[in-house]
Amino acid sequence: MTISINRERLINDFVQLVQIDSLSRQERKMADALIERLTPYGIEIHEDRAGEKVGGNAGNLICRLPGDPSKPTILFTCHMDTVTPGEGIRPQILEDRITSDGTTILGADDKAGVAGILEMVRVLHEQNLPHGPIVLLFTIGEESGLLGSRALDVELVKDVKFGFAFDSNGPIGKIVTKAPAQNKLEVVVHGRTAHAGVNPEAGISAIQVAAHAIAMMKLGRIDEETTANIGIIKGGTATNIVTDRVEILAEARSIDMAKLENQTAHMRECFEIAAKKFETTVDVKVTNMYPNISYEESDEVVQIAMRAARSIGFEPETMASGGGSDANVLNGKGIPTVNIAIGYENIHTVKEFIRIQDLIDAARFLVAITQAV
* 124-168 pLDDT, tens digit each: 999 999 999 999 999 999 999 999 999 999 999 999 999 999 999
SS3 (DSSP) at 95: coil
Nearest partner of 116 among 177, 164, 181, judged by Cα: 164
Model confidence pLDDT, tens digit, residues 16-40:
999 999 999 999 999 999 999 999 9
Read off the pTM.
Answer: 0.93
**Sequence-distant (≥ 6) Cβ neighbours of residue 78 within 8 angstroms:** 110, 111, 113, 114, 116, 117, 137, 138, 139, 165, 166, 167
pLDDT the model gives residue 2: 80
Angle between helices 356-372 and 300-311 (to 10 degrees): 120
Model confidence pLDDT, tens digit, residues 314-333:
999 999 999 999 999 999 99
SS3 (DSSP) at 241: strand
Model confidence pLDDT, tens digit, residues 161-187:
999 999 999 999 999 999 999 999 999
- Report, as an integer, the average pLDDT of 54-68: 98
pLDDT the model gives residue 213: 98
- Report, as an integer, the average pLDDT of 5-12: 97
Strand intervals (E) in the chain: 44-47, 61-65, 73-79, 92-93, 97-99, 134-139, 160-168, 174-179, 181-190, 220-223, 226-235, 245-254, 282-290, 293-294, 317-320, 337-341, 353-355
> How much of the chain, in percent, has pLDDT values that exceed 90?
99
Indicate whether 89 pLDDT > 90.
yes
98 Rama class: left (phi>0) / alpha (psi -120 to 50) / beta: beta
Q: What is the domain partition of the chain in residue ranges?
A: 7-179+292-372, 181-290
Which class would CATH give 7-179+292-372?
A: alpha beta
**Sequence-distant (≥ 6) Cβ neighbours of residue 144 within 8 angstroms:** 24, 25, 54, 81
Do 191 and 282 contact (CB within 8 A), yes or no? no
> What is the distance between the terminal CA atoms of the chain, rounded to a whole angstrom?
14
pLDDT the model gives residue 212: 98
Model confidence pLDDT, tens digit, residues 179-220:
999 999 999 999 999 999 999 999 999 999 999 999 999 999
The reply to whether omega before 110 is within 30° of 0 (cis) is yes
Please spell the DSSP secondary structure of 333-345, one letter per residue.
TT--EEEEE---B
pLDDT range class, residue 368, cuts 50, 70, 90: very high
pLDDT range class, residue 348, cuts 50, 70, 90: very high
Indicate whether 244 pLDDT > 90.
yes
SS3 (DSSP) at 253: strand
SS3 (DSSP) at 140: coil
356/157 Cα distance (integer angstroms): 32
Other CB atoms within a 10 A radius of the CB of residue 161 amount to 17
Burial of 108 (0-12, 13-18, 19+ CB in 10 A): buried
What are the Cα distances from residue 95, in Å, to 71, 104, 343? 41, 20, 16
Q: Does 348 belong to an annotated binding site?
A: yes
Query: In the predicted model, what is the mean pLDDT of the chain?
Result: 97
Do 75 and 135 contact (CB within 8 A), yes or no? yes
- Report, as an integer, the average pLDDT of 41-46: 96
Indicate whether 7 pLDDT > 80.
yes
SS3 (DSSP) at 22: coil
pLDDT the model gives residue 44: 97
- Report, as an integer, the average pLDDT of 278-295: 97
Angle between helices 356-372 and 108-126 (to 10 degrees): 50
Indicate whether 50 pLDDT > 80.
yes
Do 13 and 115 contact (CB within 8 A), yes or no? yes
pLDDT the model gives residue 125: 96
Q: Do domains 7-179+292-372 and 181-290 have the same CATH topology?
A: no
- Report, as an integer, the average pLDDT of 99-119: 98
Question: Considering the domain 181-290 in this protein, what is its CATH number?
Answer: 3.30.70.360
Catalytic residues: 81, 142
pLDDT range class, residue 110, cuts 50, 70, 90: very high
Indicate whether 1 pLDDT > 80.
no
